[in-house]
Structure 1
Amino acid sequence: MELSLRPLLAASLIGLAGITSGCATKTPAQKASGEIFDPYESTNRSIHGFNLGLDKVLVRPASKGYIAVMPPPMVDSVNYFAENLSMPGRMVDSLLQGKFKQAGHALARFLINSTVGFAGLADPATEFEIPQVDTDFGETLHVWGFGEGAYVELPIYGPSTTRDAVGVVVNMFTNPLDFAPTKPVNNISLYADGARRLGDRGRYADTVDAVLYDSADGYAQARALYLQNRRYKLEGDAPDLYITPDEISTEGF
């Protein structure tokens, strides 16, 4: 009997997110200013230290070895494969957000890349000019009106917020492929996403190392970059939600 990793990962993330988030809420002034809300910084820094140790001992050397051994086209194929497996789940999130055209794009990309693209190892959908679809349940909660909540750092996953941490857990169970009666390999989407993340870590090693190891405060810099990028993705160019230059300058940049 095969062991499913999703319930174990979900339970771990729910418990740790609960520990770090507690009952803290933003004040109206904090919501208006978009300042960093990190009421459990001590716990987050402890988890960041764990993640940093894991990166030093395992992830960083493994990613460099992976990139050194695997030809770039094969790394691309693994990334395409992982991306393609995520499309049905992104279709579900698009539907929940009321973005029906985007849901159609996700479905079209999955069908084309799964067939013409050799089971997702290639990306002909992009050549056919079908738009990329990048969404998740954290964004769905945002569309539904939920605030981002406190900043949290998740084990292995890294920077997040309480809203996005819930999204990570929910997305473990919303991909229709996971409910197929027959699957070639149990947990295949988790393995594929892990390989994709490993490839990205190796490809962007210099940038990641600069954030984690070369800055005065790697935790603060990773936190600021995550929130800046996430808010831009969800809010576009709404300036009130962004970290100010003065705030960034005090966070180890």
Structure 2
Amino acid sequence: MSRNTSVLLVLAAAAALSGCAVGPDKRDPMENWNRAVFKFNDTVDTYALKPVATGYKNITPSFVRTGVSNFFGNLGDIWTGANNLLQGKGADGMSDIMRVALNSTFGLLGVLDIASEAGLPKHKEDFGQTMGKWGVTSGPFVMLPLLGPSTLRDTVGLPLDVVADPWRYKDPVNVRNIGSGTRIVDQRAALLDASSLFEDAALDRYQFLRDGYLQRRQSQVYDGDVPQEKSDNEDNVPAQPVVNPTGQGAGT
């Protein structure tokens, strides 16, 4: 067993013991429902999505997978830029706009990520983060069927994230559907190694995923600089490495 795996096991055990000590997690009042949805999602992933993603990774050259990821990432940069501007982060928003302009032209419609090589960093923002930036609290944890972990705030923002996806308006419909399926499989393939670590490390995989997701979302809302008072109000849940084994969920 590697040192990293050992550390993860210790952290997961600490979280499990902490949960036993304090009782039900106040951030997760719908835990019974959420666990049932998690089990459903895990079954779908185990018997459908993960095998397809594994086959895709095994037969598709790495440069092709990189191109697919870059292409859809470039589309995502449009909404990321809009959310950065909505959050008042003008410099980041303009950087995202420049990324899209460079990658869409010189990067062959985004297949090549030349913007990163040019020193324009990639960001990832969604409307849930924008609402959090302006003081909307996350609300309770929610496990969404097929989509994965979320919160009440992120779930409310999800429809706008979906509507703002440029690929949603791609014609003809069959090309749109093929592209959407490819994007899902590509995202899952990119997380195969992480999901294996998640499966090996977590004593309670649901709790491990929930706590990691909530901590990650809080970090994203505050751009990694979480105010101390916010950190102190998280029910004293031990910090854990973040793993999203399905690559799904709002704002992932």
TM range (shorter): 0.7 to 0.9
Q: Which runs of 4+ in 1 moved over 6 A?
A: 187-190
C-alpha distance in structure 1 between counterparts of 2:138 and 2:144, whole Å: 15
Distance 1:141 1:94, change over 3 A: same
Give the residue type in structure 1 aligned to 2:117. Answer: E
Match 1:240 to one of 219, 232, 250? 232
Contact 2:71 2:111 in 1 (8 A): yes
Give the residue type in structure 1 aligned to 2:137. Answer: G
**Shift of residue 165 of structure 1?**
1.3
Give the residue type in structure 2 aligned to 1:224. Answer: D
Give the residue type in structure 2 aligned to 1:201. Answer: R
Structure 1, unaligned runs of 5 or more: 1-34, 249-253
**Number of the residue aligned with 1:216:** 203
Distance 1:91 1:128, change over 3 A: same
C-alpha distance in structure 2 between counterparts of 1:221 and 1:39, whole Å: 16
Residue 123 of structure 1 pairs with residue 110 of structure 2: no
Q: Deviations over 1:34-86 (max 9, x none)?
A: x7500001111111111011001101101100100111111110000011111
Local SS of the residue matching 1:172: helix
C-alpha distance in structure 2 between counterparts of 1:228 and 1:103, whole Å: 24
**Shift of residue 122 of structure 1?**
0.7
**Number of the residue aligned with 1:229:** 216
**Shift of residue 177 of structure 1?**
6.9
C-alpha distance in structure 1 between counterparts of 2:98 and 2:174, whole Å: 23
% same residue: 30
**Number of the residue aligned with 2:100:** 110
**Number of the residue aligned with 1:63:** 53
C-alpha distance in structure 1 between counterparts of 2:172 and 2:36, whole Å: 35
Contact 2:53 2:189 in 1 (8 A): yes
**Number of the residue aligned with 2:67:** 77
**Shift of residue 160 of structure 1?**
0.9
Local SS of the residue matching 1:78: helix
Contact 1:78 1:192 in 2 (8 A): no
TM-score by length of 1: 0.74
C-alpha distance in structure 2 between counterparts of 1:165 and 1:75, whole Å: 29
- My pick for the range that moved more, 196-205 or 102-111, is 196-205
TM-score by length of 2: 0.74
Residue 169 of structure 1 pairs with residue 159 of structure 2: yes
C-alpha distance in structure 1 between counterparts of 2:172 and 2:116, whole Å: 27
C-alpha distance in structure 1 between counterparts of 2:136 and 2:69, whole Å: 31
Local SS of the residue matching 2:163: coil
Give the residue type in structure 2 aligned to 1:144. Answer: W
Q: Deviations over 1:162-221 (max 9, x none)?
A: 111122221111346756xxx444497776565344234323323213424763211111
CA RMSD between the two structures:
2.6
Match 2:77 to one of 67, 87, 91? 87
Distance 1:158 1:237, change over 3 A: same
Structure 2, unaligned runs of 5 or more: 1-24, 241-252
**Number of the residue aligned with 1:251:** none
Give the residue type in structure 2 aligned to 1:222. Answer: L
